[in-house]
Structures are given as structure tokens and as C-alpha cells.
Amino acid sequence: MHADTTCYLAGPFRELVTMQALPLKGPLNDSALRVIRNGGILWKAGRIEAVADFETLAARPGVTLIEPSVKGVVLPGFTDMHTHIAFGGSRAADFALRNGGSTYLEIAESGGGIWSTVKATRALTVDALAKRTAQRANTLLQQGVTTIEVKSGYGLSVAAELKCLRAIAEARRMTSADLVSTCLAAHMLPSDFNGSAAAYLELMADALLPVIKNEQLAHRVDAFVERSAFSEAQILPYFKKAKAMGFDITVHADQFTTSGSAVAVAVGAKSADHLEHSTGKEIALLAHSDVAAVALPGASLGLGCPFAPARKLLDAGCSVAIATDWNPGSAPMGNLMLQAAVLAAFEKLTNAELLAGITYRAAAALGFKDRGVLAPGYRADFLVYDADGYQEIPYHQGSLQPAEVWKNGTRLTFTD
Ligand code: NIG
Ligand code: FE
């Protein structure tokens, strides 16, 4: 893929926050962060060769020097490990209804909510959906999000789910971000399905998942375990079939009522996401498992709900990732640093915990071992901020944008 074997060196930078040698799980003190001052980053063919003192690296023979536009602070590229950016339409009316007193579940039960986005998404062609998906991915990329998970889930028939996943595949050609797709056919029982939840899930497992597998459209399967969607008893057989086909599992868990995180632990999911209503029992379950706990502050902000108990989850020993959940219903904002910094302020997360949640812990929850850390062998995905020190970045709660975004050793330019 990379014919270029030049060794590039960028720097010197005021600070390079490497995220090296930090544990996958549990609380993190800022003093554990390995910050290199006056450092440089050296890479070849899109992979990091060294991150060290700039002068030492510059003395190596045969390096091509790249002068940064700002001396600033370098962070690894971010991973937004939970989004629903493949959608059509708007749910501005839901926001107004909720703020007028209706609840998310009431709107869903009266035929609005996810179902209205399904209708708007089904009305789009693959190309139109791909274009919107790529535009949103590029909005995140400009904020420094170099890896983005994208769910289907607004198709909810075999054909329409395939269309969504094909649109995500097509969107890859219109963005430099890495897009990781997830099948969320189990988002809700579609209103036009003539049958039970069990029959719908059976159809998806038998007629949709094998096609996804064959065409390599996704390697992850998600479900919304909730009163308005699927119960524990309904979803377990579906997840078991998906797992037997080789899919990784992830769960929308404990958003309004509990039980999703117990499902996630029972099926050995990669992550349990949302957790706004998790209690001590669910926190203990997750902490004694290898399921990553994912906070989605954008959904709390969109719905005016409590935040996931990130502090308690970390203290109990979980690996906590933070993602935007960007979707038209509960989380229309799509700003990862803003949301992570607001969560940190409410949940009292250290900067190290915040940064881990959007770098290597988020990447690990997607199964990646090659990103989220600035160290030899990792991808040269990194961000350069015009800042005096790394603390400035969370402190500005999303209003400080990276001056440079690098993906696989290439500096990206943004036209709009
Ligand atoms: O993660 N909770 C379920 N799914 C999305 C919301 C989807 C929607 O409302 O359109 C979420 O919040
Ligand atoms: Fe979600």
C-alpha cells in the first residue's frame, strides 16, 4: 500500500503525549503519562519508527525533515468507537418534543424516534447515504478522529440493512478516516415487520448475517437491549448465532433500564455501551469481565439524562472508552473532545483517563492493537495542536481544534 520508504521526521514539538505503557483497565493518574518534551516523531511507510528527543532523531542519517506548522502538542489520532452516522433526515422535532416533556421511550412507542429515521434512510440511494456518511466522517476527522466505527441500524430489513452497510463501504472512498462498520439490524423491531421479535431476529440471523459475512461488509454485530427494542431473552439466541458465525459482539446496554450489560458479559461482548442506568451490580459484572465499558456523553447531553458512571466504572477496574454515539435521535452533536471533556468535568476523570478513553482504550474495544499510542510499530496517526501543553486540550472542551491531522503518515487537508 505504501511504496514510499522515506524516513520522515516531524518536530521539534513542545510536548508529545505518547500514551505508552499504560494499563488497559482501571484508573489512571496524569503522572503516569509519558510526555516527551522537545520531541520528534519518525515514521516510514505509514508506521512509527521512533518517538524520542528531536535532536537525537535528527542526527540519524537519511531522515527527511518535516517542519511542523506549529511547535505545539502532539497526541495520537482519536478513535470514536460508537457512531450511527449513516442516516438520512433529522430528528429536530424529537428534541423539541422531549424538551416539552415527552420521553425518548414515549416518542419511540408512538411511532417516532428510530422508526422515523428508518423511513428517511430507506428513502436515500446508496450513493446519497454514502455521501452523507463520509461528510460526517470528515467532520470528525477534522477534529482529530482518525478511526470511526459506523453502525447500520436505520435499514431494518435485509435489503435496507445491506444498503446501509454498502453505503458505509462506499463512504470509505470519500474519507481518509478508517471506518469500522457494525451491523445493528437489531436496533428495534421494525413497525412494518409482520411477525414477532423472535421471527425478525431469526430472519436477520439466517438471511442477513451470512451475506454480511460473505461480502465482508462488517465483522461486528450490535443490538439495542431495551424496553423499546429487544429483551435479554430475545437477543441471546441472536447473539449466539452471530458469535458462532465469527462476529464480534457489542451491546447498547443499560441506557434507560438495566439488563444489557449482563447480556454483554454473558455473550463475551467486546463492549457494553451507554450504561447511563448501570447500578453497582452492573458495574461489578463489567469490572469482572473483559467487556469494555463505553460512556456516550453525547446521548446524555442530547436527552438530558445522567452520564454513565465513568468514575465508578474506572475505580471498579473497567476499561472505559468514550464515544460520541453521533446519531440523529439522542446524540446529534458529533464532537468527541467536547463530550469527553464535559464527561470528565462531571465524572471527575483525569486527563489521562479522558485521553485513554478516546485513544488506545477505544481502539482496543474495536480490536485494534495498532493505533491510539505513539510508539514504534503503531500507525503514524497523530494530531498537532497549537497549545502550550497537553492540559490545554481537554481544558478548552472541544473549542481547540488540531492544527494538523496526520493519517498513516500523510498530512490531511480539509477543503470545507
Ligand atoms: O445509541 N439507543 C439506541 N440507539 C441510539 C439512538 C438511535 C436513535 O434514537 O436514532 C443511541 O442512543
Ligand atoms: Fe448508539
Listed in sequence order, the DSSP H helices in 157-296 are 158-171, 197-203, 209-214, 232-244, 260-267, 280-287
Fold for the domain defined by 79-365: TIM Barrel (3.20.20)
Cell numbers placing 225: 437491549
Tell how far the Cα of 273 is from the centroid of ligand 2, in angstroms.
7
Tell me the CATH number of domain 7-76+372-411, given options 3.40.50.620, 3.30.450.20, 3.30.70.520, 2.30.40.10: 2.30.40.10
Which residue in 125, 131, 132 sits closest to 159, CA to CA?
Answer: 125
What is the 3 state secondary structure string of 341-395? HHHHHHHCCCHHHHHHHHCHHHHHHCCCCCCCCCCCCCECCEEEECCCCCCHHHH
Cell numbers placing 410: 500523510
Tell how far the Cα of 280 is from the centroid of ligand 2, in angstroms.
22
The three-class DSSP label of residue 41 is strand
The three-class DSSP label of residue 141 is helix
The answer to whether residue 416 scores a pLDDT higher than 70 is no
Show the ligand 1 pocket: residues with CB < 6 angstroms: 84, 113-114, 117, 224, 252, 255, 299, 325, 327-331
What average pLDDT does the segment 242-261 reach?
Answer: 98
Q: Which listed ligand is nearest to 332 at the C-alpha?
A: 1
Tell how far the Cα of 68 is from the centroid of ligand 1, in angstroms.
40
Domain locations along the chain:
7-76+372-411, 79-365
Nearest residue (CA) to ligand 1, atom 3: 224
Residues recorded for the chain = 416
Query: Do the Cβ atoms of 2 and 408 come closer than 8 Å?
Result: yes
Query: 136: pLDDT confidence band, cut at 50, 70 and 90?
Result: very high
Nearest residue (CA) to ligand 1, atom 1: 325
pLDDT tens profile 372-412: 999 999 999 999 999 999 999 999 999 999 999 999 999 99
pLDDT tens profile 16-34: 999 999 999 999 999 999 9
Bridge partner list, 53: 39
Q: What is the pLDDT of residue 251?
A: 99
Q: Which of 108-122, 140-154, 212-226 has the lowest mean pLDDT?
A: 108-122
pLDDT cut 90: percent of the chain above it: 97
pLDDT tens profile 51-94: 999 999 999 999 999 999 999 999 999 999 999 999 999 999 99
The three-class DSSP label of residue 410 is strand
Q: What is the pLDDT of residue 4?
A: 86
Q: Which listed ligand is nearest to 305 at the C-alpha?
A: 1
Q: What is the DSSP string of 96-137?
A: HHHHTT--HHHHHHTT-THHHHHHHHHTS-HHHHHHHHHHHH
Query: Considering the chain, what is the average pLDDT of its residues?
Result: 97
The atom of ligand 1 lying closest to the CA of 87 is 10
The atom of ligand 1 lying closest to the CA of 328 is 10
- CA-CA distance, 172 to 184, in Å (whole number)? 19
Q: Which listed ligand is nearest to 299 at the C-alpha?
A: 1
Q: What is the pLDDT of residue 415?
A: 78
pLDDT tens profile 282-325: 999 999 999 999 999 999 999 999 999 999 999 999 999 999 99
Q: What is the pLDDT of residue 111?
A: 85
Kindly tell me the burial class for residue 319, based on how many C-beta atoms sit within 10 Å of its own C-beta (0-12, 13-18, 19 or more).
buried
The atom of ligand 1 lying closest to the CA of 104 is 9
What stretch of H or E contains 178?
A: strand 178-186
Q: Which residues 6+ apart lie within 8 Å of 171 measured at CB?
A: 86, 130, 131, 133, 134, 137, 150, 179
Helix pair angle (158-171, 114-122), 10° resolution: 70
Bridge partner list, 74: 16, 384
Tell how far the Cα of 384 is from the centroid of ligand 2, in angstroms.
29
Bridge partner list, 250: 222, 271
**Residue in the structure block whose three cell numbers are 421494525:** 190
pLDDT cut 70: percent of the chain above it: 99
The three-class DSSP label of residue 179 is strand
Query: 110: pLDDT confidence band, cut at 50, 70 and 90?
Result: confident
Tell how far the Cα of 235 is from the centroid of ligand 2, in angstroms.
17
Cis (ω within 30 of 0) for the bond into 309?
no
Query: Do the Cβ atoms of 344 and 353 come closer than 8 Å?
Result: yes
pLDDT tens profile 174-185: 999 999 999 999
Which of 83, 114, 256, 271, when mutated, tests ligand 1's pocket best, judged by the most ligand atoms within 8 Å of its CB?
114
Q: Which listed ligand is nearest to 298 at the C-alpha?
A: 1
Tell how far the Cα of 20 is from the centroid of ligand 1, in angstroms.
34
The answer to whether residue 2 scores a pLDDT higher than 90 is no
